[in-house]
């Protein structure tokens, strides 16, 4: 479809629509990244999901076989159970020639110059205004503001995007992506009205034809409401949001029993990566934790990425051109 919205984000990334697919563990593979990019948005390969820097290079090559449109690489820099060669991943990304890199977790300052030398647009996920300002100071080009609604790690401040996006937008000079709670045209219009210049979606792209996860998980998303996520690890100050299932309830019970004495080892076996992958790929949603945002309550079908992006943009344009003017007095 033709380009409807032009923002600094579409211009920086060379995409048709101000929609980005954020990095997602297990889900962020070549087939989904390419499908999102072919739809005119920005697809994202998740580096750590590939398992090694060498495999990441192969995944990038595979993505290039599936699309000639811009796509990016996510590098999430967080503490891990097993050591991760972040420097080697960064080297592969910097030399890859992709359009963008999306960093998350720890401050990525040590890698920014390398990414810029490689010609990449640098996106950083931030869960607070103070972190967003730091990202701008170290040279990031776009900040993805993750509100309380988001999947994964929303931080510890519990500020929703209704406040966080405008609070960040009015203090930053660089453009803002709104992330967390977005999955339709209403959300895109709201994000633009709040001062963002695009939306970053993860959970909504899971429930698409091309997402490389079991159909049981996609259907679980369709069947869920906005109340069907749970926040884990709060006593550890590493809060993360997941789809409600038997594992989240078991972890919450352990957290309640242990209180402030909780250690990660108390829940490690339940939330381990292999169990997460089994849940995603084998379709047993009660096998492991499944990273999911509150927008799951707005998902009621499983379209292709192309259908989804076109629907979002068309809905947003209709709201701007017809819906909002019809509500103006006089």
Beta strands per DSSP E along 138-188: 142-146, 176-179
pTM of the model: 0.96
**Starting from the edge strand earliest in sequence, which strands make up the sheet with 176-179, in order?**
19-21, 199-201, 176-179, 142-146, 121-126, 100-105, 71-77, 43-46
The mean pLDDT value of the chain amounts to 97
Predicted confidence (pLDDT) at residue 330 exceeds the cutoff of 70: no
Predicted confidence (pLDDT) at residue 259 exceeds the cutoff of 80: yes
Q: Which domains does the chain have, with CATH numbers?
A: 8-212+301-327 (3.20.20.70), 215-294 (no CATH)
- Alpha-carbon distance of 154 to 93, in angstroms, equals 25
pLDDT digits (tens, 9 = 90+) for 267-320: 999 999 899 999 999 999 999 999 999 999 999 999 999 999 999 999 999 999
Report percent pLDDT > 70 for the chain: 100
The 8-class DSSP code of residue 49 comes to G
Residues 6+ apart with CB under 8 A from 294: 149, 150, 180, 181, 226, 229, 241
């Amino acid at each position: 479809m033709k380009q409807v919205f032009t923002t600094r984000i579409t211009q920086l990334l060379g995409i048709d629509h101000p929609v980005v697919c954020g990095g997602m563990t297990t889900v962020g593979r070549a087939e989904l990244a390419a499908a999102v990019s072919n739809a005119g948005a920005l697809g994202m390969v998740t580096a750590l999901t590939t398992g090694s820097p060498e495999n990441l290079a192969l995944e990038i090559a595979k993505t290039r076989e599936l699309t000639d449109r811009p796509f990016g690489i996510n590098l999430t820099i967080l503490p891990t159970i097993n050591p991760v060669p972040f420097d080697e991943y960064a080297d592969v990304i910097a030399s890859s020639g992709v359009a963008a890199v999306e960093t998350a977790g720890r401050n990525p300052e040590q890698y920014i110059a390398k990414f810029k030398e490689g010609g990449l647009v640098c996106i950083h996920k931030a869960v607070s205004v103070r972190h967003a300002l730091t990202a701008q100071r170290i040279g990031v080009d776009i900040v993805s503001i993750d509100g309380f609604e988001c999947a994964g790690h929303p931080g510890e401040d519990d500020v929703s995007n209704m406040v966080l996006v405008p609070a960040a937008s009015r203090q930053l000079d660089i453009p803002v992506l709104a992330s967390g709670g977005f999955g339709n045209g209403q959300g895109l219009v709201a994000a633009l009205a709040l001062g963002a210049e695009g939306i970053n979606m993860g959970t909504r792209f899971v429930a698409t034809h091309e997402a490389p996860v079991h159909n049981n998980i996609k259907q679980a998303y369709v069947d869920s409401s906005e109340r069907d996520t749970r926040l884990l690890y709060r006593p550890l100050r590493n809060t993360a949001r997941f789809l409600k299932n038997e594992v989240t309830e078991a972890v919450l019970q352990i957290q309640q029993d242990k209180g402030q004495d909780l250690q990660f080892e108390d829940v490690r076996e339940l939330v381990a990566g292999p169990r997460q992958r089994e849940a995603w790929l084998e379709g047993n949603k009660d096998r492991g934790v499944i990273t999911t945002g509150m927008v799951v309550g707005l998902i009621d079908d499983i379209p292709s990425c192309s259908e989804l992006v076109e629907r979002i943009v068309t809905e947003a344009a209709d709201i701007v051109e017809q819906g909002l003017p019809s509500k103006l007095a006089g």
